[in-house]
Amino acid sequence: MGFARTCSVALVGVEGVVVEVQADLEPGVAAFTLVGLPDKSLVESRDRVRAAVVNSGGEWPQKKLTVGLSPASVPKGGSGFDLAVACAVLGAAERVDPREIADLMMIGELGLDGRVRPVRGVLPAVLAASEAGYRQVVVPEQTAAEAALVPGVSVLGVRSLRQLIAVLTDEPVPEEEETQERGRPDPMLAGLTVPGAGMGTGVAAVPRTGAGRPDMAEVAGQRAARTALEVAAAGGHHLFLSGPPGAGKTMLAERLPGLLPPLTQQEALEVTAVHSVAGVLPPGQPLVESPPYCAPHHSATMAALVGGGNGLPRPGAVSLAHRGVLFLDEAPEFSGKALDALRQPLESGHVVVARSAGMMRMPARFLLMLAANPCPCGRYGLVGDVCECSPTTVRRYQARLSGPLLDRVDLRVHVEAVSRAELTGARAGAEDSASVAARVREARERAAARLQDTPWRLNSEVPGHELRTRWQPFPGALREAERDMERGLLTARGLDRVLRVAWTVADLAGHDRPAAPDIAQALQLRTGLSRGVPVAAGEC
């Protein structure tokens, strides 16, 4: 009788669970039994592993073979267990020393010829292995750079099962031929991405540097909207732009990620882990360093927005936009249930998805930007134009964005149609994204210094109670906001959000704490009603 064990990782959402892969050989009729709650793709690994071992020059044991995946109560799926199963079987058959594989973490799919193919979710899997105390991992060669992002872990990238066997037995490592033909994409990378899954995420489609990068200098007019974008980027505040078609709402949204500072190392690992699991991580780019931009179509379902799907839930748009921007164009055209499902992640920074196969928590701390036309035809309220929508249709269209959802949006700006003079005139004085991003960075540094000994880093994250008691504005500065609350124009949550925006306006202006003009500008950005203050940030 032979026994061996090694380890792999089962992904539950974007979190990994360490799985012990055990192989047991007993005398009897040759059979291969796989237990431990595997799914269909994992059950099929029996045939892949057998063919890979034989084609790698090994002998398949002609005994009763049982492979167990422990803990058995955790659902397991995917082809990433192939490498661990093959090595556990070889260890039980004493082809390799069982002690050499007992403390190894292995992730990878096996081809029938023994080649090791990459799988999605390597980064969160290695993170889980590191947290569990494992210091040596074996991954496919194509994902070795992604696995190496985790500090304190020794990574071995292999091309084939033959190479791994040679390393474990101290034999000469054979050279494997290149599978990629010059001028053609590498077929081994096909499993890393889901076709079409990255559409709209902007990870690879929106350049962040060089030619073709969206720049604020290209925006004609829209002074109020430009200010709102700057305030949103500086404080992490959610934004709602309303206005006629062609006014530049989408153009502004595409430039918002360029105003955000680069991701920190920890944030980059969080974003990369989500994108790796979802299959939208571009090949050759192991680390996402800039804030992502996700713009789903208005036909997206609730599962596509917040996560879900058959079996174990998959990350949705709110998780793909983690630490970045989620832009919902034509927001009233989205399903009402899908929009209201955003209320939880907007408050908590994560989303909890419950399905019959399990419940999981996925990160979803994003900056939400909504855009909408004033009515279905888009001409309601325009001077000199005739709206074809009835008053009932206009009210019904505008009511698709529920009050509780809009109450969580800090900034609401009406975007006017661009005039001919603004569009064709010289825009030499228009600021570029680099200048605005520099002010945003300085404002974030002021906020981070103020919040240094707290769990918060942005003004939008600070609870209202702390703003009212610990960091108070100048005496009397809140008088106008309190009057709006008494009139019913502001809710208690709305007053807290006005305070948060006021702190961001003060940070942009270099003030120690918000004064009456800062509160007035925050109210103007919140309600859309003129308060007699300059429209540009920092002019108060």
pLDDT at 531 over 60: yes
User: Which pLDDT score is estimated for 199?
Assistant: 46
DSSP line for 406-455: HTT--EEEEPPPPPHHHHHS--TTPPPHHHHHHHHHHHHHHHHHHTTTSS
pLDDT tens-digit profile of 422-473? 777 655 567 889 999 999 999 999 999 999 989 999 999 998 888 888 888 8
Which range is least confidently modeled, 174-178, 273-277, 456-460? Answer: 174-178
- Under DSSP, the state recorded for 350 is E
Read off the pTM.
Answer: 0.89
Q: How many CA atoms lie within 13 A of 418 on its CB side?
A: 19
- Relative to beta strand 15-26, strand 2-12 is antiparallel
Which band of pLDDT confidence, cut at 50, 70 and 90, is reported for residue 223? confident
Q: In whole angstroms, how far apart are CA 265 and each of 95, 272, 295, 406?
A: 41, 10, 24, 32
Smallest CA-to-CA distance from 353 within 390, 311, 400 is with: 311
Segment (H or E) for 405: helix 403-406
User: Which pLDDT score is estimated for 125?
Assistant: 95
Contacts of 39-47 with C-beta under 8 Å, sequence gap 24+, read 39/75, 39/76, 39/77, 39/78, 39/311, 41/77, 41/78, 41/79, 42/76, 42/77, 42/78, 42/79, 42/81, 44/79, 45/79, 45/81, 45/82, 45/85, 45/110
**b/e burial code for range 336-355 (CB count within 10 A of at least 16 → b):** eebbebbeebbeeeebbbee
Q: What is the mean pLDDT of the chain?
A: 87
